[in-house]
Amino acid sequence: MLSQRTVRQVTSLGFLARYLSHYKFVVAGGGSGGCAAASNLVKHGSVALIDPAKDHYYQPLWTLVGAGIKTTADSHRLESECVPEGATWIKQRVEGFEPDTNTVLTADGEKITYDYLVVALGLDLRFDLVKGLPETLGKNGVCSNYGPGNADYTWKTLSSLKGGKLLFTFPNTTIKCAGAPQKIMYLAESHLRKVGIRSDSTLTYHTALPAIFGVPKYAATLNRLAAEKGCEVVTKSSLVEVNGDKKEAVFQNLETGEKTTENFDMLHVGAPCAPSPVYASSPLADSAGWVDVNRSTLQHNTYNNVFAIGDCNSCPTGKTAAKVAAESGVLYGNIKRVMKGQEVVSGYDGYTSCPLTVGDDKLVLAEFGYDGAILETFPIDQAKPSSLNYWLKKEVMPSLYWRGLIRGTWRGPGFVRKAMRLGMTS
C-alpha cells in the first residue's frame, strides 16, 4: 500500500489520481482557508486538497510591501510548505462541482468524489472591469497592492516621485480587505513627508462607498486623520477608465452618472473583485454567485455535506484573513458534528478585522462582525491610532498566519477578547 507521503510526492500522475479518486474530505482551494481546513480534517480521514498553485502568499503584508517596509519575499512560502502532512495534494485546477453526486471536476478531466466538501477557492481579481486598466497596470504610474508581485511596482512608483498628484481608488464591487485601498494612501503620505516633498504633492481617495469606511466608529477616526493629513476624500466615485499613456483616470459619480477626468502621477487601484466562475456557475452558488452557506454555521443551505470558508462564501462580512481564522474553528466543529449525525451549531458571528495602517508607524485596529457590531480584542479604544497595534500588524500577525492559521490552530482572537474582558463578549 502507498504511504500518504508517497501519495503527496507523486499525486500529479494521472494514474494515481484515478487510483485514489475518492476521499473522505475534498478541499477545493489551497489558500489560507483551504490549508486551515485540510490541517484539521486530516486527523479524521483521507483528505485531497486541490490547487495547482506552486506559491502561497500572506497577502495582508502587501500593503507594507507597497510602502517599502516589507518585501514580496517576506510574504511568500512554497505551497508545498503549507499543505499539511498526510493530505493528498492534487495539483490541478478545479473545473466544476456536481454536488448531487458528490463530485469535483478538475481541469485534466478527473472526477474526484467525496463524503464531505470544503470550498475555499477565494475570489477573482477583476482589473478588466475598468476600461484600459489591464493594459497599463504596472507601468505609467498605475499600480495596485492586489495580486502577487504588484506591490513591488507600487513602491517603485512611490519612491521615485518628486511630488505630483496621487490618486487612490476603492471599487464599485466586492473587495478583498476593504481597508487596503486607503491604507496605502496614509503610508504614501507619511513617506512624502519623510522625504520632504509633501508640500509638492496632493493625495485624493476616490471611494465608491457613501462613506470613507463602512463601520461608523472607525470612519470617524479615518475622516479626522484624512483631514489632518490633507488627503481629500471623494465618496460615491467609481474609477471606470484609465489612460496610462496620458496619465488620466476617469471617474463616475454614482449618484448623478456624471464622468470626470483627473490627471495623475501615481494611481493606486483597489482591485475590483468578483466570485470565481467555477463556483458561481455551479449548483453551489447563490443568486450573487457566492457559495451559498448559512452565515452562522458555514454549512451549505442545500447540501449538508458541503461547507465553504473564506472569500468564496456568502457570509455578509469583510473578506479578510481574519475572517478565515474565525471561520476555521466553526467549520471544523460543524463538520465533526455532521460526521456524528448531530445538528450543526451557530458559531460564526461575522468577525473580521481590518488593521488600518495610518502612517507614522501607527495603526487603527478595526474589528467588527455582522451589521458592524464592534468586536474589539483589547479593552481599549482600538479606533485610536496605536504604535503597539502597528507592531502587531508588522511582526506578529505574519507569524500567526504561517504558524497558526494555515495549520488550523489559530482560530481568531475570540478567546483573547473574552479573557481580556473577563468573559464579556463585547
Residue tagged 475590483 (cell numbers): 272
Distance CA 112, CA 97 (A): 10
Distance CA 65, CA 74 (A): 9
Enumerate the β-bridge partners of residue 365: 355
Enumerate the β-bridge partners of residue 237: 253
Of 35, 231, 312, 354, which is the active-site residue? 354
The C-alpha cell that represents 163 in the structure block: 511630488
DSSP state of 223: H
The C-alpha cell that represents 338 in the structure block: 455532521
- Residue 203's identity, in one-letter code, is L
Distance CA 232, CA 168 (A): 10
Angle formed at CA 197 by CA 192 and CA 203, multiple of 5 degrees: 60
The C-alpha cell that represents 135 in the structure block: 493594459
Distance CA 291, CA 285 (A): 4
Distance CA 251, CA 130 (A): 10
Q: Would you call 352 helix, strand, or coil by DSSP?
A: strand
Which residues, other chains included, contact 100 with Cβ-Cβ below 8 Å and sequence gap of 6+? 283
Of 143, 177, 273, 312, which is the active-site residue? 177
Distance CA 67, CA 410 (A): 28
Pairing of strands 266-269, 111-119: unpaired
Q: Would you call 36 helix, strand, or coil by DSSP?
A: helix
Q: Is 177 a catalytic residue?
A: yes
Phi, psi dihedral angles at 305 (to 5 degrees): -105, 15
Q: Is 82 a catalytic residue?
A: no
- Taking the alpha carbons of 377, 381, 382, 383 in that order, is the dihedral positive or negative? positive
Residues taking part in catalysis: 177, 354
